[in-house]
Structure 1
Amino acid sequence: MSLQKKNWYELAENLHRYYGGKIEVVPKVPLKSFDEFSIWYTPGVAEPCRRIYKALKEQNEDLSFEYTCRWNYAAVISNGTRVLGLGDIGPEAGFPVMEGKALLFKYLGGVDAVPVVINERDPEKFIYIVKALEPSFGAVNLEDIRSPDCFYILERLKEIMEIPVWHDDQDGTALVTIAALINALKLTGRKIEDTKIAIIGAGAANIATYKYLKVLGADPRNVVVVDSKGILHSEREDIEKLKKTNPWKYNITIETNPEKRGGIPEALEGADVVIAASRPGPGVIKKEWIKKMDKDPIVFALANPVPEIWPWEAEEAGAKIVATGRGDFPNQVNNSLGFPAIFRGVLTVRAKKMVDEMFVAAAYAIAEYTEETGMHEKRIVASMDETELYVKESIAVAEKAIELGLARRKLSRSELEAEIRDLIERPKKWVTLGRKFGLIKDYSEDI
């Protein structure tokens, strides 16, 4: 079957119905006879239960990470209030996205991810539910939660949970954006601390990107951010309202841009870099505005399904490097380069938290791998079919967790690489075997 000749929406509807979902649970123990259920279930299972209970009471040590699948379990949690480009469609309609994310977690990172959709819109109640689920999982990936609720929910859960918490719409997009920018700056001979950056869109992704730009060394005074009402600045009429309703955007408003006023054209004037994650184009950013940027500008137009400006238009206007969110153009800024490896790393060492230093380690690992394997203007980040990228990135995250004292397990680099490589390669072997023996059905031409 030539997938290129198919309508993606029609094909997806047919195949989701055909397979009845994308993932399933399968045994990992031999089960050579029915007598073995006395080991895996009653009466034998009582012994690991007793040991977990005793260790928690006497040593404050959680052996559930050793005796159960919890060590490799990640929850993909959403309430469906901001799904993909679909908006507020609710938890049931959002479930296919969470299941798809779980498939990517497994296939790319060897992570057993479980889609969990919650019918709760109140942030405090949502936080309570996720916290209550903590004993079942080794990490949490938040997904498709409306802004600004997503910022508060992420911050609060990071504070109160003893497992890593990540929001892919914030952290994932920001991670790959930062990794791509590191290489784009290298190719254009720029230093982050001197770079003038225009950020178009002030939603979850770009607010997180701004945060990590600062961590990387960007000067907030060199950053101009544009939302739907224009450039953010300290004299805006809605500044007091922002302080109450969206303190994350408010902080950007008072930290950035001491001078510029106006909209996107004014923000781009003299800028070295534009990072756009706003509404689909084309025409959101115009060629004549790119021409007003500094020499050899870097243009990240990340809206899907259509970027804010077509890549060839940006190049015709003088852009040296162009990235989009699409896989059919060069330089795809794709979340899938980040979250599978991030979670593989933290789960392998049973990390207690996800912190900025681990994020930066992952970003530099992506950038370095890309450089080592052939970086150029049309390849500032690797693609999602490069297994070695995930291995290198996972090791970088795991080693940083160990260095910071956030890991429950401490492994050598060689031990980390062997275990991580096996876990990342394992799902691909399962799919190959499943297809070979008919356990995974191939779909036919008439689907």
Structure 2
Amino acid sequence: SKPVMEGKGVLFKIFADIDVFDIEINEKDPDKFVAIVKALEPTFGGINLEDIKAPECFYIENELKKHCKIPVMHDDQHGTAIISAAALLNALELQKKKIDKAKIVVNGAGAAAMACINLYISVGARPENFMVFDINGILHHGRTDIPHIKKHICVDAKYAHYTLEHAMKNADVFVGLSVGNVLSQDMIRSMNKNPVVFAMANPDPEITYPEAVAVRKDLIMATGRSDYPNQVNNVLGFPYIFRGALDVRATSINEAMKLAAVKALAELTRLPVPDIVTLAYNQKQMAFGSDYIIPKPIDPRLLATVAPAVARAAIESGVARKLITDWDAYESELNSRIGLENQLSRALGAKARQNPKRVVFADAENIKILKTAQLALEENIGYPILLGNENKIRKIAADNSIDLEGIPIIDPKTDSSEEKRKQFGELFFAKRQRKGVNRYEAIKLMKERNHFGCMMVETGEADCMISGLSRNYPDTIRPALQIIGMEEGVNKIAGMYLVFTKKGPLFLADTTVNFNPTAEELAAITLLVAKEVRQLNIIPRIAMLSYSNFGSSNSPESNLVREARAIVKKKDPTLICDGEMQGILAFNKEILKENYPFTELIQGEINTLIFPNLAAGNIAYNLLQELGGFDSIGPILLGIKKPVHVLQLGSTIRSIFNMTMIAVIDAQSKTKTDTREFVKKSKWWKRKAIQK
């Protein structure tokens, strides 16, 4: 259990900022186990029990609850119960069924199953409506092997002959906490109309999602797996339940606190889903419905929703030793614990990992780039290719304990690269022969890493490129424009920053390229930004900024923004975009709604700001970063046919890593290469870290 416990400790820290010590106890006797754990009580604020089998787990948890004055919870039991209870309430609401009328079949009668059943009863299910099966068949009053704690869900002995197949006929709900592949499609067919199926056995559910939905289109289904909709994942519960309990110094985790967590999770699911979640799960739209009955683990609202609900229930039920009076301040403090930038980075990482791409690092003779390359491979977000002097690169790596095993290093200047230089040079000459470049110069330019890297991307030998750490912005962009070129229909490139704010991701443009765009150019920049934001599975809500509001000034600057907005709406009427408007209106909904109720921006949070010129955009970005203390990714280059992204001089490893994730996500939509298949056949990138 050591790896499981260590992993759980990491989840406590990541999701709720709780420091955890995993302690494995080599003791089989329940009473001795209780005595050992009880003796540890003065050192810790709470105890999360893990990997204890039934029936010992019931006795151990009850004894510790009796004798300890700190929260004790066996997550294997109660975590699954809390998450699945929230999912069940939502599923039944969608299916228009009352929980007290629902006929529920449960396969499995172990610790988790009993905790689920008891919590379902607490939220309204009736004991007489359950049919429960264990390894010996249905639980009925004629059996002599049923312990006292399960008597309340036994059926009459006249049902002793019932099999799972009998019970499933006209059942409203199936809950599986047993073994894989015990449900047949015929059993699913026999259920009542609009059934609910929770097949939570892992790794193989009682019936697979595709098999179940193939025979019942009116089905709502949840499993324990992340590759199907509605994953019942305990990480939605234990970090936040303990956070709330610890923050009020609760003496226990009682039924009221568990029910508060259930209610908070169920209600959160019905609210609009933040952009960060759709980004992480690569879905354009996510809303309360049959495929979304429980929040996603990466939802940034969970901590500030579930923990306060649990803390409030602890206070109201009398088990809290510390009171919270300012709940708004408490929620703000919770949000500051985990940092939105960390959550956004995790969301970007999740999207990048779905389809890692080959990333050329043109400035590889740099410790920051080498550390980022190692991280990219270890985190499975991309397959790095390093350009530079191999001896220099390997020395930097050796001096700083950076593992470059399996990462290709290419030096465009060496004799071994001569053939490739000639090949790339001829291609470059063909592109630039009537623009002042001769054959000799074209081949010679391929010794330059930016040119060589861009040519790798152009020819499909790489999927994207990162450069700019040690050279200025124009020198990095120029080869990209000459070799790769702009997207079809694009006449001007643009630069965008992604800023991590407390309200969510905020996109700013143009911040780096166009000095004084015309109305047509500003409209084109807006459409480029909208395309990039949509690529991240975020719905763009765009405010086009000026110093006036909706025609309040007739100056040339205001008219330009107003005209640009009209062009944008003509080209893409579906885009949520309005202006011209002052910056204050973008973030003050009350003023906007009161004075300009006609604008479509009063619905939802504005997440994209378009500035009238480069000076305004660059100044605003720098002020936001310095005074607001916000982290950012950028500048993200827009309008290039294939992904080339430019780093700021002096970027940190974190910034480079974030930009690498953006480049990979960009490449996922712009390149058609089957990178995984290519990597399989290649001799490179063969490391244990990515062979899981």
TM-score of Structure 1 vs Structure 2, range by shorter chain: 0.7 to 0.9
In the alignment, is the contact (CA less than 8 A) between 1:391 and 1:424 conserved in 2? no
Once the 2 structures are TM-superposed, how far is the Cα of residue 257 of structure 1 from its aligned partner? 5.7
Once the 2 structures are TM-superposed, how far is the Cα of residue 191 of structure 1 from its aligned partner? 1.0
Q: Give the corresponding residue for 2:237.
A: 338
Structure 1 residue corresponding to 2:307, chosen from 371, 390, 394: 394
Structure 1 residue corresponding to 2:249, chosen from 342, 350, 363: 350
Alpha-carbon distance in structure 2 between the residues aligned to 1:232 and 1:141 = 30
Distance 1:189 1:259, change over 3 A: farther
Task: Specify the SS of the correspondent of 2:85.
Answer: helix
Task: Specify the SS of the correspondent of 1:326.
Answer: coil
Q: Give the corresponding residue for 1:157.
A: 64
Deviations 1:261-317 (A, max 9, x none): 322111211210000010122xx1001111111111101101111111011221223
Alpha-carbon distance in structure 2 between the residues aligned to 1:406 and 1:347 = 11
Deviations 1:230-252 (A, max 9, x none): 1111012xx2x333xxx323443
Once the 2 structures are TM-superposed, how far is the Cα of residue 113 of structure 1 from its aligned partner? 1.2
Q: Mind listing any 5+ residue stretches in structure 1 that lack a counterpart?
A: 1-93
Deviations 1:337-376 (A, max 9, x none): 1101111111111111110010010011111001113210
Alpha-carbon distance in structure 2 between the residues aligned to 1:235 and 1:185 = 32
Distance 1:257 1:277, change over 3 A: farther
Alpha-carbon distance in structure 2 between the residues aligned to 1:142 and 1:290 = 35
Task: Specify the SS of the correspondent of 1:221.
Answer: helix
Task: Specify the SS of the correspondent of 2:21.
Answer: strand
Distance 1:315 1:260, change over 3 A: farther
Q: Give the corresponding residue for 2:142.
A: 235
Which amino acid in the other structure matches residue 249 of structure 1?
Answer: K
Q: Give the corresponding residue for 1:73.
A: none
Task: Specify the SS of the correspondent of 1:114.
Answer: coil
In the alignment, is the contact (CA less than 8 A) between 2:142 and 2:157 conserved in 1? no
In the alignment, is the contact (CA less than 8 A) between 1:224 and 1:260 conserved in 2? no
Q: Mind listing any 5+ residue stretches in structure 2 that lack a counterpart?
A: 273-286, 347-366, 379-684
Which amino acid in the other structure matches residue 98 of structure 2?
Answer: K
Alpha-carbon distance in structure 2 between the residues aligned to 1:410 and 1:420 = 16
Q: Give the corresponding residue for 1:72.
A: none
Which amino acid in the other structure matches residue 369 of structure 1?
Answer: L
Distance 1:426 1:322, change over 3 A: closer
Q: Are 1:111 and 2:10 an aligned pair?
A: no
Q: Give the corresponding residue for 2:131.
A: 224
In the alignment, is the contact (CA less than 8 A) between 1:166 and 1:354 conserved in 2? yes
Task: Specify the SS of the correspondent of 1:116.
Answer: coil
Q: Are 1:270 and 2:183 an aligned pair?
A: no
Structure 1 residue corresponding to 2:91, chosen from 184, 200, 210: 184
Sequence identity, in percent? 43
Deviations 1:377-402 (A, max 9, x none): 00000111111122201111011111
TM-score, with structure 2 as normaliser? 0.47
Once the 2 structures are TM-superposed, how far is the Cα of residue 415 of structure 1 from its aligned partner? 2.6
Which amino acid in the other structure matches residue 149 of structure 2?
Answer: W
Q: Give the corresponding residue for 1:42.
A: none
Distance 1:106 1:426, change over 3 A: farther
Once the 2 structures are TM-superposed, how far is the Cα of residue 419 of structure 1 from its aligned partner? 2.2
Structure 1 residue corresponding to 2:328, chosen from 406, 410, 414: 414
Once the 2 structures are TM-superposed, how far is the Cα of residue 428 of structure 1 from its aligned partner? 3.5
Q: Give the corresponding residue for 1:69.
A: none
Q: Give the corresponding residue for 1:145.
A: 52
Which amino acid in the other structure matches residue 332 of structure 2?
Answer: A
Alpha-carbon distance in structure 1 between the residues aligned to 2:84 and 2:179 = 17
Q: Give the corresponding residue for 1:196.
A: 103
Q: Are 1:249 and 2:163 an aligned pair?
A: no
Task: Specify the SS of the correspondent of 1:113.
Answer: coil
Q: Give the corresponding residue for 2:656.
A: none
Alpha-carbon distance in structure 2 between the residues aligned to 1:385 and 1:291 = 34
In the alignment, is the contact (CA less than 8 A) between 1:395 and 1:420 conserved in 2? no
In the alignment, is the contact (CA less than 8 A) between 1:276 and 1:308 conserved in 2? yes
Which amino acid in the other structure matches residue 179 of structure 2?
Answer: R
Q: Give the corresponding residue for 1:130.
A: 37
TM-score, with structure 1 as normaliser? 0.72
Structure 2 residue corresponding to 1:327, chosen from 209, 226, 241: 226
Judge which range, 411-420 or 372-381, deviates more: 411-420
Distance 1:211 1:257, change over 3 A: farther
- Structure 1 residue runs of 4 or more that deviate by more than 6 Å after TM superposition: 435-439
In the alignment, is the contact (CA less than 8 A) between 1:120 and 1:126 conserved in 2? yes
Task: Specify the SS of the correspondent of 2:222.
Answer: strand
Once the 2 structures are TM-superposed, how far is the Cα of residue 194 of structure 1 from its aligned partner? 0.8
In the alignment, is the contact (CA less than 8 A) between 1:273 and 1:298 conserved in 2? yes
Alpha-carbon distance in structure 1 between the residues aligned to 2:67 and 2:116 = 24
Alignment of 1:240-319 (within 5 A): 241-243=145-147, 247-253=148-154, 256=155, 260-261=159-160, 262-281=162-181, 284-318=182-216, 319=218
Once the 2 structures are TM-superposed, how far is the Cα of residue 418 of structure 1 from its aligned partner? 2.0
Distance 1:348 1:427, change over 3 A: farther
Count of aligned pairs: 342
In the alignment, is the contact (CA less than 8 A) between 1:365 and 1:396 conserved in 2? yes
Q: Give the corresponding residue for 1:25.
A: none
Q: Give the corresponding residue for 2:578.
A: none
Alpha-carbon distance in structure 2 between the residues aligned to 1:252 and 1:159 = 25
Task: Specify the SS of the correspondent of 1:340.
Answer: helix
Q: Which has the higher contact order (CA 8 A, sep 6+)?
A: 1
Once the 2 structures are TM-superposed, how far is the Cα of residue 259 of structure 1 from its aligned partner? 5.3
Deviations 1:78-133 (A, max 9, x none): xxxxxxxxxxxxxxxx1111000000111011111110100101100000011100
Alpha-carbon distance in structure 1 between the residues aligned to 2:156 and 2:306 = 34
Which amino acid in the other structure matches residue 311 of structure 1?
Answer: Y
